[in-house]
């Protein structure tokens, strides 16, 4: 018997069959993809028309709301939306005058990549970013207006003269809220850092957010990426809450400070995470003769549950520009990893004014150059016209409950010969030195103060108030931390919702 079969034709058939199946599968896949794409587009379209948000408010919920898409914005990361943002803010600005308790407007930014140049905000206003919304800062320099230097600085910080606007900017406002479901504001800073390093910029780089002369500010639940310069800069402002934000920039990017309250009062910074190339928080108040003449301090500031990574800067800095004075700053539960120093004071002859009543309680630090660092000869001046007789007064600086690991030097405290830093208090401090630590753990010049339960043993100018078996026998049980709360700590948020 012979089975007459043609193996060739069988394989041929099989081959064809397979090919058919493959091409059918491909076609099905293609169709599925198409359907998915159409559905996603429809969803995006739907979302930009029908959207809902839950948001926080302080004065009252906003009476009006709009999506930036209604003003022609396109979230493709390529189209410039500066006009759309400006038109949207102008439209909502008409409700500002209705006041907080029932007026005002909310601007919604849906998922997408929204390229824009700087634009101004308005009063009684909320900007809300969807979790997948990214506001991208324009790299077209002609989009960045040049504005006057700050009166308390007398010049731009990078360059004498004017400065580029900040991306989100506000002047003379009240009740401004920038928030979202952890949406992102991306400064695309590399472009600016390169130009800065090559000295190719005519003006000082812009910030991501600057609010001047503004009362009642909330900045919450957002991520700030790669700012050209400082990230968040409230200046000449009051009643400010910064909560639940993430700030990220490469650790060697120039001047990417996190949050810089500058001549501001009643400030609450909490629950935030900052990785940056400069100080995570820097409290300022103007520069030399310009700051002295302007005369507006930074005061009543609380910072809680801050986590910082900044290998060449401080977790919290006071100064170096402090010529309007800085007083009543309270920092609690500060964590820093791979950061140069903890809460650092920076000032100089010519700054004038004061740094006083700085309270720090609870720092958990790991891998630090200096746990405690005070500098009285910070070399940077706006010009040669500073007054050599304008000596800063530094008094009442308390640190307690500090634990640090892997530290090169416990403290380097340098006051000013004719203006000693006074009233320094250190208590309950344990510093574990690194394997390759400096031989001398402390270095102190022109400072006066007390200490208790500090290890390793601090310099003699921090008089040991000792444990019971000897020592100075002073009254010190721990350094002072104010018991009464600041009014800004008791502000509670209202919860609001809106559905388009
Ligand atoms: C924002 O307002 C300030 C002050 O009026 C102005 O100088 C600046 O040019 C405005 N910025 C933009 C981007 O319109
Ligand atoms: C802000 O207010 C001050 C003082 O009222 C005024 O001089 C200045 O022109 C205002 N600036 C803007 C941009 O509104
Ligand atoms: C917000 O986004 C940043 C950046 O993606 C992320 O690191 C952070 O954990 C997020 N925060 C929250 C609360 O989801
Ligand atoms: C931040 O987001 C959390 C989680 O969505 C929310 O409970 C909280 O009210 C928000 N806080 C602020 C100040 O926006
Ligand atoms: C200790 O600090 C050094 C830098 O000073 C770092 O290279 C090393 O990784 C750190 N070690 C630990 C255990 O964190
Ligand atoms: C000393 O500080 C540690 C944390 O750094 C804390 O747990 C402890 O309670 C403090 N002791 C006193 C007596 O306050």
Indicate the number of domains in the chain.
Answer: 3
- Which atom of ligand 4 is closest in space to residue 241's alpha carbon? 13
The Cβ-side half-sphere exposure at 19, using a 13 Å CA radius, reads 6
Per-residue pLDDT tens for 321-350?
999 999 999 999 999 999 999 999 999 999
Residue whose CA is closest, atom 3 of ligand 6? Answer: 401
Residue whose CA is closest, atom 5 of ligand 2? Answer: 172
C-alpha of residue 370 to centroid of ligand 5, in Å: 13
Question: Which residues make beta-bridge pairs with 330?
Answer: 302, 359
Q: Are 416 and 442 in contact (CB under 8 A)?
A: no
Enter the tokens of residue 314: 């401080």
- In angstroms, how far is the first alpha carbon of the chain from the final one? 80
Q: Are 30 and 463 in contact (CB under 8 A)?
A: no
- Which atom of ligand 5 is closest in space to residue 406's alpha carbon? 1
- Which atom of ligand 4 is closest in space to residue 495's alpha carbon? 9
Q: Are residues 29 and 72 in the same domain?
A: no
- Which atom of ligand 2 is closest in space to residue 172's alpha carbon? 1
C-alpha of residue 244 to centroid of ligand 3, in Å: 9
What pLDDT sits at residue 4? 46
What pLDDT sits at residue 1? 42
Q: Is 216 in the pocket of ligand 6 (CB under 6 A)?
A: no
Per-residue pLDDT tens for 39-83?
776 666 666 678 999 999 999 999 999 999 999 999 999 999 999
What pLDDT sits at residue 16? 63
C-alpha of residue 290 to centroid of ligand 3, in Å: 39
Q: Angle at the Cα of 330 (from 356 to 214), degrees rounded to 5?
A: 90
Q: Which residue has the higher pLDDT, 489 or 100?
A: 489
Task: Spell out the residues 6+ positions from residue 96 whose beta carbon is closer than 8 angstroms to its own.
Answer: 103, 104, 105, 122, 123, 124, 125
Structural domain of 17? 1-49
Pocket test for ligand 5, best of 310, 406, 409, 437 (most atoms within 8 A of CB): 406
C-alpha of residue 120 to centroid of ligand 1, in Å: 6
* 3-state class (DSSP) for residue 187: coil
Q: Is 120 in the pocket of ligand 5 (CB under 6 A)?
A: no
437 pLDDT more than 70: yes
Q: Sign of torsion, CA 470 472 477 481?
A: negative
Question: How many Å apart are CA 397 and CA 18, to the nearest integer?
Answer: 80
Task: Spell out the residues 6+ positions from residue 179 whose beta carbon is closer than 8 angstroms to its own.
Answer: 55, 56, 126, 127, 128, 129, 218, 219, 220, 221, 222
C-alpha of residue 129 to centroid of ligand 2, in Å: 29
Instruction: Evaluate whether residue 158 is within a structural domain.
Output: yes
**Helix-strand-coil percent breakdown of the chain, rounded to 5?**
15, 45, 40
Enter the tokens of residue 112: 């997408």
Q: Are residues 268 and 290 in the same domain?
A: no
Domain with residue 206: its CATH number is 2.160.20.10
Among the bound ligands, the one closest to the CA of 248: 3
Q: Are residues 270 and 296 in the same domain?
A: no
Q: Are 270 and 304 in contact (CB under 8 A)?
A: yes
Q: Are strands 238-243 and 215-220 parallel, antiparallel or unpaired?
A: parallel
- Choose, from 175, 257, 278, 288, the residue flagged as catalytic: 278
301 pLDDT more than 80: yes
Instruction: Evaluate whether residue 234 is within a structural domain.
Output: yes
Question: How many Å apart are CA 431 and CA 435, to the nearest integer?
Answer: 13
Q: Which residue has the higher pLDDT, 472 or 106?
A: 106
Instruction: Evaluate whether residue 499 is within a structural domain.
Output: no
The pLDDT-based confidence of 98 (bands split at 50, 70, 90) is confident
Question: How many Å apart are CA 492 and CA 490, to the nearest integer?
Answer: 6
Q: Are residues 25 and 68 in the same domain?
A: no
In this structure, the residues whose C-beta lies within 6 A of any atom of ligand 2 are: 171-172, 213
User: Which residue, 216, 249, 275, sits at the end of a domain?
Assistant: 275
User: Which residue, 248, 275, 302, sits at the end of a domain?
Assistant: 275
Q: Are 204 and 164 in contact (CB under 8 A)?
A: yes
Distances (CA, A) of 490 to 54, 264, 302, 333: 22, 18, 12, 18
Task: Spell out the residues 6+ positions from residue 269 whose beta carbon is closer than 8 angstroms to its own.
Answer: 242, 243, 259, 261, 281, 301, 302, 303, 304, 306
Q: Are residues 468 and 391 in the same domain?
A: yes
- Residue 182's nearest CA partner among 224, 211, 210 is 224
252 pLDDT more than 60: yes
Q: Are residues 213 and 248 in the same domain?
A: yes
Q: Are strands 314-318 and 119-120 parallel, antiparallel or unpaired?
A: unpaired
Q: Is 338 in the pocket of ligand 5 (CB under 6 A)?
A: no
> What is the average pLDDT across 399-412?
98
Distances (CA, A) of 247 to 259, 306, 315, 317: 9, 11, 13, 16
Residue 383 appears among annotated catalytic residues: no
Residue whose CA is closest, atom 9 of ligand 3? Answer: 246
Instruction: Evaluate whether residue 500 is within a structural domain.
Output: no
Question: How many Å apart are CA 398 and CA 449, to the nearest integer?
Answer: 10
> What is the average pLDDT across 95-107?
84
Q: Are residues 243 and 323 in the same domain?
A: no
C-alpha of residue 444 to centroid of ligand 4, in Å: 44
* 3-state class (DSSP) for residue 71: helix
Pocket test for ligand 4, best of 55, 56, 304 (most atoms within 8 A of CB): 56
Q: Are residues 185 and 283 in the same domain?
A: no
Q: Is the peptide bond before 456 cis (omega within 30 degrees of 0)?
A: yes
What pLDDT sits at residue 21? 72
CA 290 to chain centre: 25
The pLDDT-based confidence of 470 (bands split at 50, 70, 90) is very low
For the chain, the average pLDDT equals: 93
Instruction: Evaluate whether residue 360 is within a structural domain.
Output: yes
471 pLDDT more than 80: no
- Which atom of ligand 4 is closest in space to residue 55's alpha carbon? 14
Q: Phi-psi region for residue 226, left (φ > 0), alpha (ψ -120 to 50) or beta? A: left
Q: Are residues 458 and 331 in the same domain?
A: yes
Q: Is 335 in the pocket of ligand 5 (CB under 6 A)?
A: no
Q: Are residues 339 and 193 in the same domain?
A: no
In this structure, the residues whose C-beta lies within 6 A of any atom of ligand 1 are: 118-120, 145, 147, 165, 169, 171
247 pLDDT more than 80: yes
The pLDDT-based confidence of 466 (bands split at 50, 70, 90) is confident
469 pLDDT more than 50: no
- Which atom of ligand 5 is closest in space to residue 434's alpha carbon? 1
Q: Are residues 69 and 38 in the same domain?
A: no
Share of the chain above pLDDT 90, in %: 85
Per-residue pLDDT tens for 7-43?
455 456 556 666 677 677 778 778 888 888 777 766 6
What pLDDT sits at residue 9? 56
User: Which residue, 224, 259, 275, sits at the end of a domain?
Assistant: 275
Per-residue pLDDT tens for 183-215?
999 999 999 999 999 999 999 999 999 999 999
Pocket test for ligand 6, best of 403, 428, 452, 478 (most atoms within 8 A of CB): 428
Q: Are 301 and 275 in contact (CB under 8 A)?
A: no
What pLDDT sits at residue 5? 47
Question: How many Å apart are CA 7 and CA 166, to the nearest integer?
Answer: 76
467 pLDDT more than 70: no
Q: Are residues 174 and 284 in the same domain?
A: no
C-alpha of residue 157 to centroid of ligand 2, in Å: 22
Give the containing element (helix H, strand E) for 245: none
Q: Are 367 and 406 in contact (CB under 8 A)?
A: yes
- Which atom of ligand 6 is closest in space to residue 402's alpha carbon? 5
Among the bound ligands, the one closest to the CA of 360: 6
């Amino acid at each position: 018997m012979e089975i007459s079969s043609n193996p060739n034709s069988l394989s041929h058939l099989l081959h064809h069959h397979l090919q058919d199946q493959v091409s059918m599968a491909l076609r099905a896949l293609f169709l599925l993809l198409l359907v998915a794409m159409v559905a996603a587009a429809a969803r995006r379209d739907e979302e930009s028309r029908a959207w809902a948000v839950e948001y926080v408010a302080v004065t009252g919920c906003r009476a009006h709301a709009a999506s930036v898409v209604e003003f022609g914005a396109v979230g493709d990361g390529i189209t410039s939306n500066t006009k759309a943002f400006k038109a949207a803010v102008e439209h909502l600005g008409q409700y500002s005058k209705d006041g907080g308790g029932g007026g005002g407007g909310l601007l919604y930014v849906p998922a997408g990549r929204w390229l824009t140049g700087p634009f101004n905000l308005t009063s009684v206003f909320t900007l809300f970013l969807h979790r997948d919304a990214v506001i991208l800062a324009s790299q077209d320099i002609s989009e960045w207006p040049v504005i006057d230097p700050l009166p308390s600085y007398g010049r731009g910080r990078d360059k004498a003269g004017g400065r580029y606007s900040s991306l989100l900017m506000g002047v003379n406002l009240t009740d401004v809220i920038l928030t979202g479901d952890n949406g992102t504001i991306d400064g695309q800073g590399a472009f600016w850092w390169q130009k800065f390093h090559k000295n190719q910029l005519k003006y000082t780089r812009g910030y991501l957010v600057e609010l001047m002369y503004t009362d009642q500010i909330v900045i919450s639940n957002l991520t700030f990426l790669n700012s050209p310069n400082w990230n968040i800069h409230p200046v000449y402002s009051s009643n400010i809450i910064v909560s639940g934000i993430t700030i990220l920039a490469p650790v060697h990017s120039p001047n990417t400070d996190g949050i810089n309250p500058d001549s501001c009062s009643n400030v609450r910074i909490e629950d935030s995470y900052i990785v940056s190339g400069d100080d995570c928080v820097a409290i300022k108040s103007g520069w030399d003769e310009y700051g002295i003449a302007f005369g507006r301090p930074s005061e009543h500031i609380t910072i809680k549950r801050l986590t910082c990574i900044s290998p060449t800067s401080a977790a919290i800095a006071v100064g170096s520009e402090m010529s309007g004075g800085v007083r009543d700053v309270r920092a609690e539960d500060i964590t820093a990893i791979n950061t140069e120093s903890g809460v650092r004071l920076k000032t100089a002859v010519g700054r004038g004014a004061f740094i006083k009543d700085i309270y720090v309680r609870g720092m958990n630090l790991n891998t630090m150059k200096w746990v405690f660092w005070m500098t009285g000869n910070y070399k940077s001046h706006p010009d040669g016209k500073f007054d050599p007789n304008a000596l800063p007064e530094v008094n009442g600086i308390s640190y307690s409950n500090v634990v640090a690991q892997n530290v090169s030097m416990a403290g380097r405290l340098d006051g000013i010969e004719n203006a000693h830093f006074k009233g320094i208090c250190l208590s309950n401090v344990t510093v574990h030195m690194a394997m390759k630590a400096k031989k001398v753990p402390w270095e102190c010049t022109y400072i006066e103060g007390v200490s208790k339960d500090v290890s390793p043993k601090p310099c003699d100018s921090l008089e040991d108030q000792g444990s019971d078996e000897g020592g100075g026998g002073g009254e010190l049980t721990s350094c002072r931390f104010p018991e009464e709360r600041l009014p800004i700590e008791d502000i509670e948020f209202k919860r609001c919702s809106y559905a388009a």
